[in-house]
Homo-oligomer: A and B are copies of this chain.
Amino acid sequence: MSVRIIQIHETDNVAIPVEAVSKGAILEGGLTALDDIPQGHKIALRPLAAGEPVIRYGAVIGYLKQAANAGAWINETMIEVPPPPDLDNMPWGTASAAALPVPPRTVFRGYDIPGASFAGIRNILAIMPAVQCVSGVVNAAVEKMKRELLPRFPQVDDIVPLNHAYGCGVAMNVKDSAIWIGSLKNLLRNPNFGGEIMVVGLGCEMLTPDMLLDPEENAPENVIILQECRGFTGMIDAILSMAEKKLHRLNARKRTELPLSKLCVGMQCGGSDAFSGITSNPVAGYASDLLAGAGAAVLFSETTEVRDGVHLIAARCAGEEAAKKLAAEMRWYDAYLRAGGADRTANPSPGNKKGGLATIIEKALGCIAKSGTAPVTEVLSPGERPSQRGLIFAGAPASDMVCGAQQLASGIVLQVFMTGRGTPYGLASAPVIKVSSRTILKELWPDLIDLNAGTIAEGSETIAEAGLRLFNMIIDAASGDYKPWAERYKLHNDLTIFNPAPIT
């Protein structure tokens, strides 16, 4: 029996085997493997000359340094990476807008917030330190509250400290500090926190509460200053007393049926492999199209991993404003990396390469697959909140933890996380649905992976079928009818708000 190989686009000159093949093995279509080739790594479909482009997803992922015969293993050491796409005058709105698939469901059951654009899907009391100095006290208070208070408020899902590393000892008045300050300000308003505001300051920090809060919010019922409390016990008492009032209000909230336009979902991938771009990410893209078609807001990010396919996203921008901001976000990141002496070749990671991702271009094409086919209605700077619905590019680093935190700041209430190599990622403030790119990962981690998209590579399910499964899982999770594994285990990574400004 020949080994199944996957050619994504008809113009591709490489394909990938769905399992590891030994030298001499016969592949689907009659090709003979000239090398031992790991699962998901590229194999030449025809003889390729030195300097010839390597084509996958119908796009050039690099140029061959040396000639290769049909059936040869094409790995990362053999490919030269060209410069990234030019950001000046990128054509926009040129991609033919295919009709989006019709969503079978258009409502979910969430926690509406009067006057707010989006609804919550969990009922969480969040407490934000104005400065990292106070996080030890906040953590101690949260621990005590989870033991002593939370059981009395069964409609409240959790109490979450929004810890961060800033507020003092960090440059405040430089241009880039607007990113972390704005992100914290928006994070505080994530719809999963039900509109309740609770800030704990020290009293001498640089990030004064008025920088986080609107004037009417900056009041004694929302802000505790530890330097005004009597000792540690006074601090704990003050926090518990304020929290209790807010828990009472949160506990009275009820889910109601809401249109999907009240839902803001984030898409992210991490620990990607060569299958991510053909299984889990296109499945997420299909679910994204269903959500966008139903009027929800769907955010995707990872600036450094979109950079090499940015022309494809620009082509899908619905307006000039979005296209211009997209270029501006990319330019900002190019300059940020350059200032630190870094460039895009630090990506892909060793694990990505092991998984078959040879170049940042190949990784970018796979990364972008999660955005489906919908037009891009808006582009956000890191931590900004959307004003539109549909598919939105929310600029943020690709670092999983930073991207997660930034999307939370932008207001996502649920994240879908696609993984190839596997990561036990989770967020405390929003449920995370994890999608595996390969069946083997779902088998190894049955209690961490929520949905397996490896079925696509095996040919047992179409992208639309798995995408619909994911769409339904998203609505179920949003409605409180499904708890992703990471949420069940209360498994979550530390929040890491993006700060490009210097530490002082």
On A, residues with C-beta under 8 Å from B are: 132-137, 140, 163, 165, 168-176, 202-206, 208, 226-227, 230-233, 235, 270-271, 304, 336-337, 339-342, 346-347, 349-352, 354-355, 397-403, 421-426, 444-448, 485-486, 489-494, 496, 498, 500-504
Contact = CB atoms under 8 A, between A and B. Distances in A.
Nearest to A497: B165
24 contacts: A133-B270, A133-B425, A136-B486, A165-B401, A165-B496, A168-B399, A168-B400, A169-B403, A171-B340, A173-B342, A174-B342, A202-B351, A202-B422, A202-B423, A203-B351, A204-B271, A204-B350, A204-B352, A204-B422, A336-B502, A340-B501, A342-B502, A494-B494, A500-B503
Given A203-B351, A232-B489, 12 more contacts: A132-B400, A133-B401, A137-B424, A169-B401, A174-B340, A204-B422, A205-B351, A232-B485, A337-B504, A340-B500, A340-B501, A397-B504
Contact of A136 (B173, B205, B491): B491
Given A350-B208, A397-B504, A342 B171 contact: yes
**5 closest residue pairs by CB, A with B:** A204-B351, A169-B399, A340-B502, A171-B342, A174-B341
A238 to B, nearest CB: 12
Given A133-B270, A422-B227, A494-B163, A504 B445 contact: no
Nearest to A345: B173
- Of A176, A204, A227, A339, which is in contact with the most chain B CB atoms at under 10 Å from its CB? A204
Number of copies: 2
A352 B169 CA distance: 12
A431 to B, nearest CB: 13
Given A501-B342, A502-B342, A133 B271 contact: yes
A432 B341 CA distance: 37
A158 to B, nearest CB: 14
Contacts of A351: 202-205
Nearest to A339: B339
Contact of A134 (B203, B227, B424): B424
